[in-house]
Chains A and B, each alone.
Chain A
């Protein structure tokens, strides 16, 4: 296997007196789906934002395709085109239709001609199963549909890595499935993905690797099988037991 597509080395993030996370190192290989789990407030979402340079880190280095993106001379805007981000609250552009939400990055950032941008945007909307909603505004779409548009918007830029920040946490339970379904397809197509989620079913079925974070550091990582059935740390066991109790009932019934 070639070198990791994304490499985080000794990342530390501090807000004032609060250490959000400390000395985090993580390698993401091409085509890998990594699910990051852990209690709330352990810095999982902040980690994603730091990788996307939306939040500056205090120390450490991040490499994307072998190039250091935390270097002072690296262009943030260029980096973000290669790192797709899906937000918990979708954050669609509310004044634009679904199609224009996906198109705007293609025409304004990638400067594609209009016809070409449109074609690509329609392709991405089709990929998330929403080509029939192209001319709907975000306000006219369900949460699940909005999030799928959010995924299409990020995919349209042809990113090297996709970051998902609790993509289903703001959704009604009956809408979670359609979003996870799209993500599962992406994983099967070997999109490189880093997913923060509490959906243990998804983690178990789809992840190549699960990373358990707590209190700003990585406690343990490994295959779903290792973490779910042979966790090395007591804390991992406790967390998984608790969260399966909360969310995982239906998985057990299967």
Chain B
């Protein structure tokens, strides 16, 4: 099959290295995006006008422009302002900022689904607003968000491919190198596609496992009713 097996046999160290960088970028971007997305969602749902405005602006800008434009602005644009970022930092920031905007929307949806009644119940026993958010709202909202949020790791993983354009040696970049070296673009990109598929498969399996682990009996049904 277009010599895919031979390519694996010959280039497995490069493929492994590329896959490692791809996975690292995904995990870093997800983590940064989760922190950013959580802050943004909280700011948008519970913040005052200032935080709400900031949150909306951030989400609109980073969801409304291509990741590639954001990446190039960070890597090629910022030096014009006297800020020079390494390739890795540019890739990390672009992916984190972009993913954060999407994650904010997933989390906002589930914060709204948990609703004001749980807030009232928390306040009624004397908890402060932020205590109620931390102890009552978030543990439920995060669980509720998992099925929709589970798209994000897979989506981000595939988005990392664009950073080969600033020469970060991730999986796609390795594919390009292999294609050039073997004059076998079909084989090279099929090989790379197979590696992506394998990582997605593992990610999905992990997410399913995590979803079951944090499941609370009867909670899902309650969430659907609300």
Contact = CB atoms under 8 A, between A and B. Distances in A.
B117 A91 contact: yes
Interface residues of B, number: 24
Contacts of B216: 94-95, 137, 139
Interface string B103-133: 0000000000000011011111111100100
Nearest to B127: A109
A108 B126 CA distance: 9
B218 interface: yes
Interface in A80-108: 80-81, 84-85, 87, 89, 91-95, 104-105, 108
B26 interface: no
B140 A94 contact: yes
B217 A54 contact: no
Interface in B134-152: 135-136, 139-140, 143
A157 interface: yes
Given A77-B127, A109-B127, A91 B218 contact: no
A140 B118 CA distance: 18
B219 interface: yes
Given A77-B128, A137-B217, A91 B222 contact: no
A91 B121 contact: yes
A153 interface: yes
B1 interface: no
User: Interface on chain B toward A: helix, strand, loop, or mixed SS?
Assistant: helix
A35 interface: no
A154 interface: yes
A104 to B, nearest CB: 6
B121 A139 contact: no
B222 A94 contact: yes
Contacts of B118: 91, 93-94
Nearest to B114: A94
Contact of B140 (A80, A87, A89, A95): A95
B126 A80 contact: yes
Interface in A59-88: 76-78, 80-81, 84-85, 87
A89 B121 CA distance: 10
A147 interface: no
Max count, chain B CB within 10 A of own CB: residue among A81, A91, A138, A153: A91
Across the A-B interface, the 3 shortest Cβ-Cβ residue pairs: A139-B218, A81-B126, A91-B121
Interface of A: 52, 54, 76-78, 80-81, 84-85, 87, 89, 91-95, 104-105, 108-109, 137-140, 153-154, 157
23 contacts: A52-B124, A77-B128, A80-B126, A84-B124, A85-B125, A87-B120, A89-B117, A91-B118, A93-B118, A93-B121, A94-B216, A94-B219, A95-B216, A104-B136, A105-B125, A108-B131, A109-B125, A109-B127, A137-B218, A138-B218, A139-B217, A139-B222, A157-B125
